[in-house]
Structure 1
Amino acid sequence: MLEQLKQDLIEYAKSIGVDKIRFTTASPFIEMKNRLKRQQELNYQSGFEEEDIEKRTEPKQLLPEGESIIAIALAYPSKMKNPPTGKRGERRGIFARASWGLDYHVAVRERLDLIENWLRERVSNLSVKSMVDTGELVDRAVAERAGIGWSGKNCSIITPEFGSYVYLGEMITNIPFPPDEPIENECGDCRLCLDACPTGALVDAGRLNAKRCIAFLTQTKDFLPDEFRGKIGNRIYGCDTCQTVCPKNKGKANWIHDEFMPDPELAKPLLTPLLKLSNKEFKKKFGTMAGSWRGKKPIQRNAILALAHFKEQSAVPDLIELLKEDERPVIRGTSAWALGVIGGEKAKEALLEALHYEKDEDVIIEIKKGLELLGKA
């Protein structure tokens, strides 16, 4: 009876756009618990995670009557149709692929809600707890044990069908579904992702120092540490390097769901117009994307760093205006640093002038950094 319910649910899940569904028990994730404790000891956590390791690894703490976990995956595109090309005077940034199209939290949650409703029509006294990314459980651990994919050296779940370009979600339930088996890890001796990581955040196979990961750094709101500013490139949200170099992702375009297909002008936006967006304009333009969750400030700071990366002279007037008028110290200071990188007489004059009126100590430090960079040019 449970096997039949499982097979019926698999068919239903496919009908609502779930690309992969597997099942595992609600028993503790012992190996993941040990890994998380080690992460804490090494101070490798980003700070965005649930702090309670017990909640992250013991499903029954979240649903005491839990018997099994339903794991689902939705594939997202790795390639963009007709991507716009940036050029001098019209430089562009890039959002990571996981932020193209509709916010995946919404899309995956919708599927989990539909699955819950489907189960409620068939099972009395149903108990469930669903999670997408921001929940307590470690999505990757659930997906790995359920056999959605294997856990790659780049800390992503890699599926045979869609590569690592999948969104994950899970539902703890009191239904004791027969569990599926994990699948074999196919990374072998490959270490392309470890070697390609721009900041060395992948310190070992399957071990990430999140504080060095560009995907994390682009979401912070403070000044970016100096050592990372030259490594961001034109990324304004997230980083895909460890996925794009993965051989298992070769040829996986995943043009499956219309809701995840990117608007090229949003996924690769012009940088300079980003600098002056109001909160209202930002929400209207980017609010449906996962990359908007931290608000406009990190995106604007990263856009400034990207303009510095390109040494985009046409952006100098806009950066000078930010240095003079923006009320946020991080934006003023980052603009000062960028002016130093881009260089030129106007940039130098603006930085020297700013030294006379700027009151914020952190911004003054950035102005001096900018002048020092100009001196070395």
Structure 2
Amino acid sequence: MTGAQLKQEIIAYSKSIGIDKIGFASADPFDELKERLKTQQELGYQSGFEESDIEKRTNPELLLPGAKTIIAVALAYPSKMKNPPQSTKKERRGLFARASWGTDYHDVLRDRLRKLEAFLLSKVPEAKVSSMVDTGALSDRAVAERAGIGWSGKNTMTITPEFGSYVYLGELITNILIEPDTPIEDGCGDCNLCVDACPTGALEQGGQLNANKCIAFLTQTKGFLKDEYRAKLGNRLYGCDTCQLVCPKNKRVDFHNHPEMEPDPEVVKPKLVPLLKISNREFKEKFGPIAGSWRGKKPIQRNAILALAHYKDQSAVDDLIDLVEQDPRPVIRGTSAWALGKIGGERAGFALKLAKKRENDEEVQAEIDKGLKMLENEA
């Protein structure tokens, strides 16, 4: 079998297992990316979630000796929810970003890549293969760009001509030489909507993201959120879609190609108040299957508290008071205290004054003081 025949068979098989787009790239080092990553590191723009070794992120040979080809894949996910529940004054709701709708995309992509690995090995038994999704060392976006899946947009996401940026990416490295595809020309042009619309200014310029200011990153942190970002969170519980929603390339893009990616509206747009006291078991049962649960329940609960403060939801006051008085986690106690100050009212003020006498944690004390100050300003 020639390399061209193998390539066509891989493409045909990929379609049969539900891969929406596939591309082929050389496994040469990503030298240009290496320089960009060094700059990001020097500026302190990295989140800390990514692989810290820049060499591993940019040299496929370190991940698979003898690497010659990288096969990039993309799966399109939905951008619109069918029959979404409405957030009302009586029942405020939070929101998980679209990339967390449906079954955890890591599991979905790994399933497709495992099948692709098995197919390649059935055709070339002596082949070496290694696949990865998101959590791997390689930059999915750089691979996808080189393989012609899409271009890297100013919002730092891969934008495909067919599916916009609503795609999950993965890749398979092999020592088999397969003719590479041609990269796609950049399609952003003069458009700067995503940079202008970013709620926190995390897009320092087109194509450069300060991850530490990005709401998608901030929703996944476990500590106290800086004051300057709390109001920016809105009702987001996990992730942020603003830079995707304003992108013209995503206009009228909504694909429902994979049943496992369909969102459960009550999971991805849940009521906020019940989240405040959800048990570990209940959290795992309800949210465990989605990508947005990977950091555990504390960040989601903290974000729910901030969302209730954003709405100034009086119905949450009693539960927030309970958290201030009883929760063993300083971040939850302190954030609840701040939220009570933001929501306001006599009960909130009385509870914060009592908490100030009782609380021993310095950070929580600082949050109580912020809450009391907001109440004083309200009076």
> TM-score range, shorter-chain basis?
over 0.9
CA distance in 2, matches of 1:121, 1:83: 44
Aligned to 1:126: 127
RMSD: 0.5
1:196 is displaced (CA, Å) by 0.2
1:315 is displaced (CA, Å) by 0.4
Where do 1:135-146 residues align within 5 Å? 135-146=136-147
CA distance in 1, matches of 2:14, 2:257: 15
CA distance in 2, matches of 1:313, 1:296: 23
Q: What code does the residue aligned with 1:12 have?
A: Y
CA distance in 2, matches of 1:37, 1:345: 52
Q: Deviations over 1:35-94 (max 9, x none)?
A: 000001100000001000000000001111111000000000000000000111200000
Q: What code does the residue aligned with 2:213 have?
A: R
Q: Deviations over 1:219-265 (max 9, x none)?
A: 00000001000100000000000000000000101121111010001
Determine helix, strand or coil for the equivalent of 2:123: coil
Where do 1:93-242 residues align within 5 Å? 93-242=94-243
Aligned to 2:315: 314
Determine helix, strand or coil for the equivalent of 1:211: helix
Aligned to 2:280: 279
CA distance in 2, matches of 1:120, 1:53: 30
CA distance in 2, matches of 1:31, 1:239: 28
Q: What code does the residue aligned with 2:29 have?
A: P
CA distance in 2, matches of 1:311, 1:47: 33
Determine helix, strand or coil for the equivalent of 1:231: helix
Determine helix, strand or coil for the equivalent of 1:171: strand
CA distance in 2, matches of 1:12, 1:99: 27
CA distance in 1, matches of 2:225, 2:277: 20
Determine helix, strand or coil for the equivalent of 2:232: coil
Aligned to 1:267: 268
1:103 is displaced (CA, Å) by 0.2
In structure 2, runs of 5+ residues without a counterpart are none
1:124 is displaced (CA, Å) by 2.3
Q: Deviations over 1:329-377 (max 9, x none)?
A: 0000000000000000000000000011111111000000000011111
Verify: 1:5 aligned to 2:9, yes or no.
no
Aligned to 1:75: 76
Q: What code does the residue aligned with 2:211 have?
A: A
CA distance in 2, matches of 1:89, 1:372: 27
CA distance in 2, matches of 1:219, 1:319: 21
CA distance in 2, matches of 1:252, 1:260: 15
Determine helix, strand or coil for the equivalent of 2:37: helix
Determine helix, strand or coil for the equivalent of 2:349: helix
In structure 1, runs of 5+ residues without a counterpart are none
CA distance in 1, matches of 2:245, 2:111: 28
Aligned to 1:350: 351
CA distance in 2, matches of 1:18, 1:77: 15
Determine helix, strand or coil for the equivalent of 1:168: strand
CA distance in 2, matches of 1:371, 1:31: 51
Verify: 1:50 aligned to 2:45, yes or no.
no
Q: Deviations over 1:246-302 (max 9, x none)?
A: 000001011211110100011100000011111111011000000000000000000
TM-score by length of 2: 0.99
Verify: 1:333 aligned to 2:334, yes or no.
yes
CA distance in 2, matches of 1:143, 1:295: 30
Q: What code does the residue aligned with 1:320 have?
A: I
CA distance in 2, matches of 1:119, 1:163: 28
Aligned residues: 377
Determine helix, strand or coil for the equivalent of 2:168: strand
1:125 is displaced (CA, Å) by 1.3
Aligned to 2:324: 323
Aligned to 2:40: 39
Aligned to 2:19: 18
Verify: 1:250 aligned to 2:243, yes or no.
no
1:105 is displaced (CA, Å) by 0.2
Determine helix, strand or coil for the equivalent of 1:322: helix
CA distance in 2, matches of 1:41, 1:158: 27
1:119 is displaced (CA, Å) by 1.0
Aligned to 1:60: 61
Determine helix, strand or coil for the equivalent of 1:4: helix
Determine helix, strand or coil for the equivalent of 1:6: helix
1:2 is displaced (CA, Å) by 0.7
CA distance in 1, matches of 2:264, 2:312: 26
- What is the percent sequence identity of the aligned residues? 68
CA distance in 2, matches of 1:365, 1:127: 56
CA distance in 2, matches of 1:163, 1:121: 33
Where do 1:365-376 residues align within 5 Å? 365-376=366-377
